[in-house]
Structure 1
Amino acid sequence: MSVKHALSRGLELGRSLIQLGLFKPAGRVAAKFRGERLRVSRPTRTVQPQTFLPGRYRFFRLSLSGLAAQLQSGTFRRVVGGGAPRNRAVFLAFGVGLGLIEQQLEEDRTSAALCQEIQAVFRKKKFQTPLKPFTSGYKLEDYVIGKQIGKGCNAAVHEAAAPFGAPVESGKYSLVERNQKETDDDNKKAGPLRFPATPSFPLAIKMMWNIGAGSSSDAILRSMSMELVPACPQALTKEQGEIALDGHFGTVPKRLTAHPNVITVYRAFTAEVPLLPGAQEEYPDVLPARLNPQGLGSNRTLFLVMKNYPCGTLRQYLEVCVPNRMQASLMLLQLLEGVDHLCKQGIAHRDLKSDNVLLEFDRAGCPRLVITDFGCCLAENLGLKLPFNSWWVNRGGNTCLMAPEVATAVPGPGVMIDYSKADAWAIGAIAYELFGQPNPFYSSQGLEGRTYQEKQLPPLPAAVPEDVQLVVKLLLCRNTCKRPSARVAANMLHISLWGKRVLASLNQARMDELTDWLLCQTAVVLLKGRGSGGSSVEAELQRCFLANIDLEDLHTAVSFLMYGQEQLKSLLAHYTEP
């Protein structure tokens, strides 16, 4: 709320009070104002500066109630001592209006304190990995490797098992032990690693393709360090963890904390490249010369151990299934929560697409999405900004889903590319796939991030809720000032999904109803607990929302939802134009 808007609102409210004649007896009002003036003027009172006005108005914010009390008491002195009626009315309107503004700011202070308390409750309990902790697994020989389950432009992924991934059942060998008995006599034979015919593989091993990084472990870790951004603290051995891992831009990459919608790397180590099942057929050119004379790969490479998501990628799932609108909305919300987690830690993924999102289902059958593949991420100490002084600077991975501010950037001295909302833009494009539509930036007549206009975006299906359509349209705004952050967009969906009734009752952006709803949501999530009935995906999303709640972000989300429908209608109006 700007100062100009606050003063005009005060005058308007004051005049309306005068017209209605809602006055208390003069003696009581004057006594109240004198008491308020004395209370505010105490030198010991300390008030935190408000965040809703610019910093240069700090004195105004601290003394707002005092100024209101002086104006109001001065009005009554003029009533007793005479004076022009017009001047008395203006003084009273101005004073009463400022008092009401101070009351609103006091409500905002209370709401902000409540949000901080809710945050503290839900941030104490951190996300727990679904796999139990383990202390081994720093060697390739610790794993039983199965068939290939994925392949990209720089790595292949195979299913795997180990004692910590598959507990030993009574009367049976573990997978490793059983495989060891089968291969004891063949340890010295060349050929692919052997594995049981029908085991359960709870893990996945990602083998990076090493072309040009050499066979030194230090050189491999430095060259592929961006892949270690989602690694847990125990992923590397102590000796490897002490290596200064230089990233693509010459800085030490950051490490992500665990999140339900971001992949976790449990182990990372270097080892000799083995001849895995299907390697000769799927990727012979990247094998070392000892396995393929025509191969270009080095003898050693980096291996990453993660949880196995047997349902595959989001793209594979959407090719055979069409989620209902509730599931699609929850999937969109999960992507926003994951990107918000990255942004809060100063990391931009820069290669978001449905191929880089893995999928599984919770007990209620709701899809759970996990963002993976951080090989193109930005994890510099500069945060979400990248110096762009030449065309040789890597701007990211998938050019089709590159945000307009990134795609249109022109290098030069002092030029910085801001990635703070670039991943959110990519999620807006992926949203079309979630709701059964072709991605407008992929299709044969697709749009280009450099040149498209908002009115060219195809409409989402009519069955998609209006609030969700609004979120998608806002995410795909070319102007970053009009585009919400991932946090604000996620808040909009949270309120739309679980606070529709309270949104309808909000009036003039007052937060009373929203505060009551937040308290109810907190009680519901705490009472529901982990592992009880319902969708665990929904429970995780609600916990993420309450753990990241912020009053200003809520104000922005509510403003978008309350006043953004007109913008949506104007955008949709272009679709009906001849």
Structure 2
Amino acid sequence: MSVKHALSRGLELGRSVFQLGLLKPFGRAAAKLRADRLRVGQPARTVQPQAFLPSRYRYYRTSLRGLAAQLQSAGFRRRFGAGSPRNRAVFLAFGLGVGLIEQQLEDDRRSAATCQEIQAVFRKKKFQSPLRPFTSGYKLEDYVIGKQIGKGSNAAVYEAAAPFAFPKESGSRCSLVELKEDEDEGQTARSLSCCSLRNFPLAVKMMWNFGTGSSSEAILRSMSQELVPAGPLALNKEREQITLDGHFGVLPKRVSAHPNVIRVYRAFTADVPLLPGAQEEYPDVLPARLNPDGLGNNRTLFLVMKNYPCTLRQYLEVSIPSRRQSTLMVLQLLEGVDHLCRQGVAHRDLKSDNVLLEFDSDGCPRLVITDFGCCLAQSDSNLQLPFNSIWVDRGGNASLMAPEVATAVPGAGVVIDYSKADAWAVGAISYEIFGQRNPFYRAVGLESRSYQEKQLPPLPSSVPADVQLVIHLLLRRNPNKRPSARVAANMLHLSLWGRKALANQDSTGMRKLADWLLCQSAVVLLKGCSGPSGNTVESELQRSFLSNLELEDLRSAVGYLLYGREQRPACILSA
């Protein structure tokens, strides 16, 4: 806003306040004479002081108007309305300041409207499943079971195939991993190649059933957390309603589809079969009919998902992603966590073993959060868990438990807030993504309940400064000083694609950034219409960013980035 325009706005506002309440009858008479004169001459714009601030600023409007009234009234009494030069200067400064505030609020309204319009456009574009929709597959006999590809503390995973489900793209990667070492200028580059995903595009997860019973209702009720990422057709229609807490109700909360969250296509109960490797890998969980010493029940829950080549941990053990790919991997985890938080779900067991990985058409790793057995998915969506007893489950994986969760002491009225716990875990996993040991695994020695931020090991110098800032902010002990997953994701988005927009940006005015968002939206829309390039990881991330635009989150991200750049090369953790 130019100085001339600001002075004009200040004078108009000051004149309006003067007319409405400062000289009372004289002001009303002057206003009437001025209005009569303006009807004949050139029309002029008048400003109503009640309109320049929203209702929430009513206190400031009244207080400032009262102060101006006292100043001008004193000046009028001394000089019959002319006012002393000092009083006139103060009054003009008041009007000028209010004019600047009004202009700032108008810019904010425009920026917020721009964000809402962009958000509405991209939220209409639903995430498409990588598998062709199918209407059958509610029985274990519908699938051909292959080799075991994973085993955890509560389930075993097998590759599977079905005649009614095939990948949309014939060039999909496989579930068997082969390592190849290529010598290039003295450096070893490791890559993953695929062998059999075309034959086994699906994965079947068989849950282990101890003490739940063999009725379908009891199994679904006990393992309902595994159904949080289930699709709308995952359960057969007669299983859509089950008994919950003694009432005949609907299934627990389910999250909508997202490119960085696993999708469960089918969920059904069936008799436990004797699958390959069962007697050697998990004999104790088998039912007595398969193993006389087994402790498992006859029936259990089966989940059908897409088959992925490997976990994040397996990938990082044999491959070194580029700096940009590593940044995109951290960003994908933040987008997935933000998607869950927006729908009232906390994963509570986020680690590199619970993140699956595949590759897009450009060879960039695509990450998918899986294993929701420990998640918190309450109906009120506030991500707060009453912690009144030591028997309350705080979640899995104590090594990557956020400080506010690890240090919670049970008692009357105690509540654990999980809204930023998963974001903290992403900060810890980021060390692994950038080639370092996770500082919170027991072999390293740091504990989330007692560490100090200055004890965090430095990241490699090759990691971009903005990314280091994000990771260090995510690992702050105080959750009130820690950015949310959405704000942290926005910081990485702006660092990757909005550097020019941030060059002359400040933390208050968002007008330049709003113009950049409009250009970015047009670019992303054109990419989506141009074929395969719209299905890459970068395109998916840009769509996620634009579909979740909110002015306050964006302003927070800009503020963090500008503050971090001002503090360099000072230590980030001292903030």
- Taking structure 1 as the reference length, what is the TM-score of the superposition? 0.82
- Partner-residue secondary structure (3-state), 2:357: strand
The structural deviation recorded for 1:22 is 8.5
Alignment match, 1:509: 508
Which has the higher mean CA deviation after the structures are superposed, 238-247 or 127-136? 238-247
Asked whether 1:375 is paired with 2:373, we answer: yes
Does the 8 Å contact 2:346/2:419 carry over to 1? yes
Letter paired with 1:540: E
Asked whether 1:299 is paired with 2:292, we answer: no
Does the 8 Å contact 2:285/2:294 carry over to 1? yes
The structural deviation recorded for 1:59 is 2.1
Alpha-carbon distance in structure 2 between the residues aligned to 1:442 and 1:266: 33
- Partner-residue secondary structure (3-state), 2:110: helix
Asked whether 1:432 is paired with 2:431, we answer: yes
Alignment match, 2:103: 103
Alignment match, 2:335: 337
Alignment match, 1:366: 364
Alpha-carbon distance in structure 1 between the residues aligned to 2:75 and 2:528: 57
- Partner-residue secondary structure (3-state), 1:513: helix
Alignment match, 1:6: none
The structural deviation recorded for 1:278 is 1.4
The structural deviation recorded for 1:30 is 8.3
Alignment match, 2:148: 148
Letter paired with 2:319: C
1:215-248 Cα deviation digits (max 9, x unpaired): 111111111010001111111111111114459x
Alpha-carbon distance in structure 1 between the residues aligned to 2:523 and 2:125: 16
Does the 8 Å contact 1:157/1:205 carry over to 2? yes
Alignment match, 1:328: 326
Does the 8 Å contact 2:241/2:251 carry over to 1? no
Does the 8 Å contact 1:75/1:88 carry over to 2? no
1:204-215 to structure 2, matched below 5 A, reads: 204-215=203-214
The structural deviation recorded for 1:23 is 5.3
1:152-203 Cα deviation digits (max 9, x unpaired): 00000001111222389xxxxxxxxxxxxxxxxxxxxxxxxxxxx9971111
The structural deviation recorded for 1:446 is 2.2
The structural deviation recorded for 1:532 is 3.9
Which has the higher mean CA deviation after the structures are superposed, 209-218 or 65-74? 65-74
**Cα distance, 1:67–1:100 mapped onto 2, change above 3 Å:** farther
1:244-291 Cα deviation digits (max 9, x unpaired): 4459xx996311011010001010000000111111111111111111
Does the 8 Å contact 1:494/1:545 carry over to 2? yes
Number of aligned residue pairs: give it: 518
**Cα distance, 1:243–1:94 mapped onto 2, change above 3 Å:** same
Alignment match, 2:83: 83
Q: CA RMSD in A?
A: 3.4
Identity %, equivalent residues: 68
Instruction: Name segments (4+ residues, structure 1) moved above 4 Å.
Output: 20-39, 45-49, 60-80, 566-570
Does the 8 Å contact 1:440/1:458 carry over to 2? yes
Alignment match, 1:217: 216
Alpha-carbon distance in structure 1 between the residues aligned to 2:5 and 2:57: 33
Alpha-carbon distance in structure 2 between the residues aligned to 1:99 and 1:70: 17
**Cα distance, 1:366–1:98 mapped onto 2, change above 3 Å:** same
Does the 8 Å contact 1:37/1:69 carry over to 2? no
**Cα distance, 1:26–1:435 mapped onto 2, change above 3 Å:** closer
Alignment match, 2:188: none
Alpha-carbon distance in structure 1 between the residues aligned to 2:61 and 2:13: 23
The structural deviation recorded for 1:214 is 1.0
- Partner-residue secondary structure (3-state), 1:487: helix
Alpha-carbon distance in structure 2 between the residues aligned to 1:26 and 1:282: 78
The structural deviation recorded for 1:119 is 0.6
Asked whether 1:480 is paired with 2:479, we answer: yes
The structural deviation recorded for 1:565 is 3.6
The structural deviation recorded for 1:436 is 0.3
1:86-121 Cα deviation digits (max 9, x unpaired): 221111111101110111011101111111111100
The structure 1 residue matched to 2:48, chosen from 24, 40, 47, is 40
Alignment match, 1:496: 495
Alignment match, 1:5: none
Letter paired with 2:104: Q
**Cα distance, 1:363–1:493 mapped onto 2, change above 3 Å:** same
1:565-576 to structure 2, matched below 5 A, reads: 565=565, 569-571=569-571
- Partner-residue secondary structure (3-state), 2:479: coil
Alignment match, 1:94: 94
Asked whether 1:267 is paired with 2:275, we answer: no
- Taking structure 2 as the reference length, what is the TM-score of the superposition? 0.83
Letter paired with 1:340: D
Alignment match, 2:38: none
Does the 8 Å contact 2:476/2:482 carry over to 1? yes
Does the 8 Å contact 1:148/1:278 carry over to 2? yes
The structural deviation recorded for 1:569 is 4.7
- Partner-residue secondary structure (3-state), 1:564: helix
**Cα distance, 1:207–1:75 mapped onto 2, change above 3 Å:** farther
Alpha-carbon distance in structure 2 between the residues aligned to 1:82 and 1:242: 79
Does the 8 Å contact 2:272/2:298 carry over to 1? yes
Alpha-carbon distance in structure 1 between the residues aligned to 2:547 and 2:104: 25
Which has the higher mean CA deviation after the structures are superposed, 521-530 or 400-409? 521-530
- Partner-residue secondary structure (3-state), 1:81: coil
Segments of 5+ residues of structure 2 without an aligned counterpart are 20-42, 169-195
- Partner-residue secondary structure (3-state), 1:400: helix
Alpha-carbon distance in structure 1 between the residues aligned to 2:425 and 2:284: 32
The structural deviation recorded for 1:128 is 1.2
Does the 8 Å contact 1:251/1:381 carry over to 2? no
Does the 8 Å contact 1:400/1:449 carry over to 2? yes
